[in-house]
Structure 1
Amino acid sequence: QVCVAFRFKMTLSLSFVKGSPAGDMKREMDQELEVSGGKGSRRPRRSTGMTNISMPCVLKLLTPAELAAAVIGKGGSVIAQLRQAYGAKLGLTDHSEFYPQTSCRILTAQTSTEESMGLVLSQIIAKIGELVTAGNQSEDIGSVGEVKLRMLVPKAAVGGVIGKGGSNIKQLRDSTGAKVSISEPSSSGPGVDQVISIAGTPQAVEAVSAEVNRQIQALNTEGWFLQWASVPGHESYASMAPTRGGGCGYDWSAAPQDHLLDPSLQVPTYDGYQPVTLQKAADPSSVHTLVNVAQTLPSYVMEDPRGFAMNCVVPNSLVGGLIGRGGAGTKEVQAMTGTKIGIRDIPGDPEHRTLNIAGPLANTCSAYMLMMKRYLDSEAQMAT
């Protein structure tokens, strides 16, 4: 892992994802919503890993803002009901962390049995129906008479949903009247996410989603399943093979504060150790250097299947400029680069937050440069 300190109080931490097991990886979900002792009180906590998988059955859903609020409930009441009734454990990604090219957070549900998961799924679909009936109609959740649900499904389970020659999905469509579509996988591997979109009456959506759930849980003893379940829903990481080994894990944790604002720190370059300064605008020579490096890298570097993450500690005062109104800034960069971007609080440090960028190497570097522009623009605007 390499840490780079910049003169404007921005610390960069770089990590390669080596495909180590979920328990060895240090990605934290924003809020893993648990309810203690059946008292109905919401107890958000931060996980020390990605998603802490403690139950055999796992399901992941794309969750627009209105559905996320409905699933949590006032004061965590709905979460409490689901936990008490079905022993379910639910987690949501951060408010600013969306599945690529959507405005949806990822909901991860865990239960001890397939049947319990089906009941949790039924309750979530019922919440979608309630939202639509109450007038909260949108492209993400549907309209009166046709609710919508999007499920993140590992590629290995998609084959079972489709069936030989498309027989199973045809039977599902014919018997329920639901519209079912499946996105193309972004890469190979049994744990690569594909989005299954279901639209129809609540009963139809429930019937189709139950079959999807069955196909997913039938694979929960496979070696790659825990890896898929542990990652909230980014295709670049879902495809990693769950192998053990050395090296650094997938680290979303905040960079140490003693790396901040230290102009004496130097970072390695191809020619040795040279100080990094980023106050100078990109001139033709620096652009040429960037292009030249990219063009001369061997193909195995750019095509490395491992994930790549950058973590930056940024002043809290500039976060608004980074995110943009309604998260438009990060959404735009995510859509342009195919990366996942999130901003998190740092416990005990109210003046700084952590900017996290993850994706393939070239994409992550591109997203970092675009976010750096937003950072510098925001800094300049504050100075005027």
Structure 2
Amino acid sequence: MLQVRERVGSPRQSTHSCPNFCFPSVCAGSSSGDLPTGTQQVVAKLLVSNSIAGSVIGKAGANIEQLQRSSGARVQLSRAGEFYPGTSDRVLLLSGSLHAVLTAIFLILEKISRDANASASSNGVKRGAKKPEEAGQAQVKLALSRRLCGLLIGHKGQTVRDFIGDSGSTIRVQSLSELTPSDPERTITVSGARDQVLRAVALILNTLSMHEGYASYMETTLQLATNQGVVLPPRAASSKNVLSNVRTQLTLYLSDDDVGAILGKKGQNLIEVQQSSRVTIKISDRSKMDPTTNEREVTISGNYSAVKLAEAMIAEKLSVARSQARSRDGGASDDA
């Protein structure tokens, strides 16, 4: 799904200076005490519009090459027409040191601002309207695994409130009600003045980098970026045949009640799904339940086609169980 754009032709020399980020309070208390500030490795999965993607690429890929040279970050962008599920946004993946990734985001926001100013100047600005440079607002939308999102939210939302207070930005975490059980990620939208947005993103990425599971998340994210067949749904019958034998893994995030519906009496439902679809299903213990969402992980492993079949069977069982629960609740209300 993602590819690195190689330079074609000579890029223009940058006329701006790159920011010199400082993270003294961001990195305070870091578990990687011997790691110089801002050098920890991170990955940022950004969702951008088609127009912003075009601005990042530039003519013949010149901008994206210049962006990599100026920031030191690796820049990968999904191809035209390939969007993040459920949106019209393309995926922009930035990886490297925290400083490099933040520099890349700074340069992208600066480029967007310059393009907006140029467009406003050429088209004229309506009387009384704020010019882009006067408004000075920026927005960054990140996609992040549900488990790591819980880390950012913190107990009763305290961590994200601290980030908002520290940065002065607005941070919106996608609600669980907007997701399906099979959605592996939630979106985080950071808005505000450019320096506020950069500060918030720095806090987010630094906090993630200190989590024990972050290295594994980075590796998986970067690997999926290069394994197009696993990331993308099949486009045609021939593609589907190729994918059918690809080993894959799907993680569902379900409430404890939903997990009970999947297990069934003495685990019979679970046995049925595994035997019928020929997959392996593992369910996390209650003791490992995410305290911020009260969800458990249901991991399905097997061939691509088998995993999709198991997912459909589970969805059907959940639909029946929820329907029965609503009927029981309705009956109880009538009796009352």
TM-score (norm 1): 0.46
Contact 1:64 1:104 in 2 (8 A): yes
Q: What is the number of equivalent residue pairs in this alignment?
A: 220
Contact 1:250 1:309 in 2 (8 A): no
Percent identity between matched residues is 21
Rate the CA distance shift 1:170–1:56 in 2: closer, same or farther, 3 A. Answer: closer
Q: Displacement, 1:60?
A: 0.6
The residue number in structure 2 matching 1:127 is 111
Contact 1:33 1:89 in 2 (8 A): no
Read off the aligned partner of 1:97 and give its amino acid letter.
Answer: E
Rate the CA distance shift 1:169–1:359 in 2: closer, same or farther, 3 A. Answer: farther
Measure, in 2, the Cα distance between the counterparts of 1:169 and 1:92.
28
The residue number in structure 1 matching 2:223 is 230
Q: Displacement, 1:251?
A: 8.7
1:212-231 residue CA offsets vs partner (Å, 9 max, x unmatched): 22233334754343113333
Q: Displacement, 1:78?
A: 2.0
Measure, in 2, the Cα distance between the counterparts of 1:120 and 1:74.
18
More helix by share: 2
Rate the CA distance shift 1:194–1:33 in 2: closer, same or farther, 3 A. Answer: same
The residue number in structure 2 matching 1:362 is 312
Measure, in 2, the Cα distance between the counterparts of 1:168 and 1:148.
20
1:89 matched to 2:81: no
Query: What is the 5 A alignment of 1:89-108?
Result: 89-108=74-93
Q: Displacement, 1:66?
A: 0.9
The residue number in structure 2 matching 1:159 is 150
Measure, in 2, the Cα distance between the counterparts of 1:158 and 1:128.
27
Measure, in 2, the Cα distance between the counterparts of 1:94 and 1:304.
29
Q: Displacement, 1:166?
A: 2.4
1:64 matched to 2:49: yes
Query: What is the 5 A alignment of 1:179-190?
Result: 179-184=170-175, 186=179
- Unpaired runs of 5+ in structure 1? 1-28, 42-54, 238-247, 261-296, 311-357, 364-384
The residue number in structure 1 matching 2:206 is 214
Read off the aligned partner of 1:171 and give its amino acid letter.
Answer: D
Measure, in 2, the Cα distance between the counterparts of 1:216 and 1:30.
22
Read off the aligned partner of 1:31 and give its amino acid letter.
Answer: Q
1:87-122 residue CA offsets vs partner (Å, 9 max, x unmatched): 3221111222211221001111122x1111111121
Q: Displacement, 1:69?
A: 0.8
Rate the CA distance shift 1:85–1:182 in 2: closer, same or farther, 3 A. Answer: same
Contact 2:2 2:79 in 1 (8 A): yes
Contact 1:57 1:114 in 2 (8 A): yes
1:306-350 residue CA offsets vs partner (Å, 9 max, x unmatched): 48757xxxxxxxxxxxxxxxxxxxxxxxxxxxxxxxxxxxxxxxx
Read off the aligned partner of 1:194 and give its amino acid letter.
Answer: R
Rate the CA distance shift 1:298–1:62 in 2: closer, same or farther, 3 A. Answer: same
Rate the CA distance shift 1:119–1:173 in 2: closer, same or farther, 3 A. Answer: same
Rate the CA distance shift 1:31–1:145 in 2: closer, same or farther, 3 A. Answer: same
- Unpaired runs of 5+ in structure 2? 13-39, 121-131, 242-270, 278-297, 314-336
The residue number in structure 2 matching 1:284 is none
1:110 matched to 2:95: yes
Measure, in 2, the Cα distance between the counterparts of 1:119 and 1:157.
23
